[in-house]
Each structure stands twice: as structure tokens, then as C-alpha cells.
Chain A
């Protein structure tokens, strides 16, 4: 079970690998599309890699609700609980 900080750090690593964005830029209140400029295809790649890294399942219909980095962190934390 990972803490929210650990999930954030792991997610930041995935975002960095997919987009080249600095990991520090990936903060809880940042919007994936508006702040981080992540398109729908990158978002799916991030989701696939997050599922693998955190051992959780993020259904397709859930992805559109993950607007901010914080949304994704809470979803993963709840799914792991």
C-alpha cells in the first residue's frame, strides 16, 4: 500500500516518461489537460502505465473523471485500499 506522496511521485515519473515534463511540475492541483497539456492518447498511456505500476484497474469510464493529478492519486489510493 503506497502513501499519497508515493503515488504522486510514481505518477510524476510516468508523466515525465510519457511527456518529458519535469516530475516537479506534476502537482496535486494540476489539471492533466489544461495545466500539463496532456492529450487524450498520452492520458491513456499514463493510465495503462499507472495500472501496471500500482496494481490497480482504472476503468475507461473512470478516466474522464480524473481531471487533476489529485483525482488520479485519490482514485489509485482508494483502489489500493
Chain B
């Protein structure tokens, strides 16, 4: 019996980022505000993190709301209708439902239905993971245009009185549209994970722990489920990190990954117009730039000073700002690298839209 030859989707040689959008929520949290919650000073925080303010979202603004704001701008700048999208990807660790995804709701709001839609859990590497997948989907012919969003409402998962990470974090969303291109616009993704450092950054406890704590009462006292859940705010899981381990990993291992992304793209550091690392800490950014021997001509994204660390949103937000402030960078090459809880990492060289 002869088996008929099936059709496979035609591949696309090149892709590019077509447009970028941003959503910065309205509440500004200053270092003075932070110092009401932890024993610190504006000078201490600036010196060790480079952060001056962070944006945080009010209670009635959700991860999906912010994602929508950023996505609409990205679509408009890309000149693409939502109905043309072949996939909607949202990178987030703060969408408060394990299921359904933020992406499915976002696709519906935008009018992208029935585009496939899914979330990525890759923390601060989420945007670069999204670019890796969006690029692969378009080149493989699985999708024509892909929306990649990094959206986080980290203020929902912090404890303002702890000192390892909460004071660094902000909320926001950034989005891009990836589509076909005549010339190469997204270099090979260098991405990976190191789960041996699973404990280095993460939540204080799991959802199962919350159930257990709520049923038994955190302090061993017999309390009703509702009482325990409502009165004991410490049941709510929040983020923690081992700053020392993370800093060392970021500076040492991530500079190597960034170099690998340059090598994979066949680009030298002096060819770059911009370096857009995850906005984790200004000191990490400075140290990575040093290790990469970036010439002074390369613009370094330093959005963290005003935006804080916004996890998956930080790279597209920083990209958006760089392009707003330096429109001449459009068409130039940018090295982007995300890294965070998992631990996970991803990096690419891209042509700026």
C-alpha cells in the first residue's frame, strides 16, 4: 500500500521583532516608602541596587489588564491586527490562577481568538523564553505572527517587611510582535536551566501548604478554615531569594551565556547598539557589562532605576524605553538576556524594531 505524502508547513527563513509596547502602572513606590517597612535608607538602597522608584499596580489592575495595555501598543506599532496573530504567549509568574491561563483571556480581549494561547513560567527569563518560542513558531511555519508578553504583578507576592527581594520588585508589562522578515532579525537563542539551584529564588510555600496551614491553623490553635485563611496574612506565599548565590550566578554564569549568544549570532560586542539585560540589580548590570567588555558606544538599558525589577516584563519595558529615548537605535543590534528563578536563563541578539 502506498502511503500518501503529507504536507508540512512551509518554513520561514527569517524573523524579527516588529513592534514593542509597554504598560507601566500608576503607583510610584519610593525608597522612602520602602524604609517605612524595612530598616534601611534611600542611600543604602540606591548604592546596592540602583533603584530609586518602582511602579506598582493598584488593586483593581490585574496581570491581564497590564498585558492588554502593552499588547495593544505592540500590535499597533507592528501594524498587525490581533486577528492575524498565530499565537499569544504570556510569560508570567504572578497570574493568580494556576488555570486557565492569562494568555487565553488576553487573546480573547484582543480579538485574537482562536489563536493558540499559553503562559510560560520562566520568571525573569520568561521574556527571552517567549522570544525563543515565538521565533521558532514563526520560522517553523506553525504561526504567522506571534505576540509575546511579559507581565507581572509582583506586588501581590511580596512581603514588604522582608529584606531579600521585596524592595527590589515592581509591576508592569511589556509586549512584542514577532513576524517573518526578509533579513535575519532574531539570533539563535541560548537558553537553559539549572534546577540544582531550585531553592535560590522562589515562593515561601506551595498552594498545598496553604491548604494545610489553613486547615490546621498556623499556630496550632484550632481555628475555622475561614478564620485562619482570612486573619493570617502570613499564609500567603511570598518571594524570597538567596541574594548572594543569585548575584554570583548572575554575574559569573550569565556573562558567559551573554557571550555565547553573541558568538551564536556571529556578532562582536562592538557591533551592538544596545545591551538590554534583565533589570535585576544595577550592580549586576554594571558587572555583566564589564565582563562582556562592552565599548562605551553600546547603550546599556538602566530602566531599573525607575521601574525596579519587574521579572518577565523588565526586558521589553527597558527596550521600549530605550527606543523612546533613543529612536536612532531602531534597526540596530541589541543583546538581551533574562535570568531568574528556576534557575533559568535565555539570551538572544535581536534587531531592534
| Partner-binding segment picked from A1-9, A24-32, A38-46 | A38-46
Q: What's the Cα separation between A52 and B287 when bound, in Å?
A: 14
Chain A contact residue count (CB 8 A cutoff): 11
**Residues of A bordering B, CB below 8 Å:** 39-41, 44-45, 47-48, 51-52, 60, 63
Given contacts A41-B283, A45-B287, contact A60 B248 (CB under 8 A): yes
Given contacts A39-B47, A41-B48, A41-B283, contact A60 B252 (CB under 8 A): no
Contact assessment for B245 and A60 in the assembled complex, using a CB-CB cutoff below 8 Å = yes
What are 14 of the A-B contact pairs (CB < 8 Å)? A39-B47, A39-B48, A40-B244, A41-B48, A41-B281, A41-B283, A44-B244, A44-B247, A45-B251, A48-B248, A48-B252, A60-B245, A60-B248, A63-B244
**Residues of B bordering A, CB below 8 Å:** 47-48, 242-245, 247-248, 251-252, 281, 283, 287
Q: Closest CB of chain A to B150's CB: distance in Å? A: 25
Set of chain A residues within 8 Å of B47, measured between Cβ atoms: 39
Set of chain B residues within 8 Å of A47, measured between Cβ atoms: 248
Set of chain A residues within 8 Å of B247, measured between Cβ atoms: 41, 44
Set of chain B residues within 8 Å of A40, measured between Cβ atoms: 48, 243-244
Q: Closest CB of chain A to B194's CB: distance in Å? A: 15
Set of chain A residues within 8 Å of B281, measured between Cβ atoms: 41
Q: What's the Cα separation between A48 and B243 when bound, in Å?
A: 14
Q: Closest CB of chain A to B256's CB: distance in Å? A: 11
Contact assessment for B251 and A48 in the assembled complex, using a CB-CB cutoff below 8 Å = yes
Q: What's the Cα separation between A54 and B243 when bound, in Å?
A: 24
Contact assessment for A60 and B251 in the assembled complex, using a CB-CB cutoff below 8 Å = no
Q: Closest CB of chain B to A18's CB: distance in Å? A: 9
Set of chain B residues within 8 Å of A39, measured between Cβ atoms: 47-48
Q: What's the Cα separation between A10 and B47 when bound, in Å?
A: 26
Contact assessment for A44 and B48 in the assembled complex, using a CB-CB cutoff below 8 Å = no
Q: What's the Cα separation between A51 and B291 when bound, in Å?
A: 14
Q: What's the Cα separation between A63 and B105 when bound, in Å?
A: 47
Q: What's the Cα separation between A45 and B249 when bound, in Å?
A: 11
Set of chain B residues within 8 Å of A44, measured between Cβ atoms: 244, 247-248, 251
Q: What's the Cα separation between A52 and B242 when bound, in Å?
A: 22
Q: What's the Cα separation between A51 and B251 when bound, in Å?
A: 13
Nearest B residue to A43 by beta-carbon distance? B244
Q: What's the Cα separation between A40 and B49 when bound, in Å?
A: 12
Known: A39-B47, A44-B251. 10 other contacts (CB 8 A): A40-B243, A41-B283, A44-B247, A45-B251, A47-B248, A48-B251, A52-B252, A60-B242, A60-B244, A60-B248
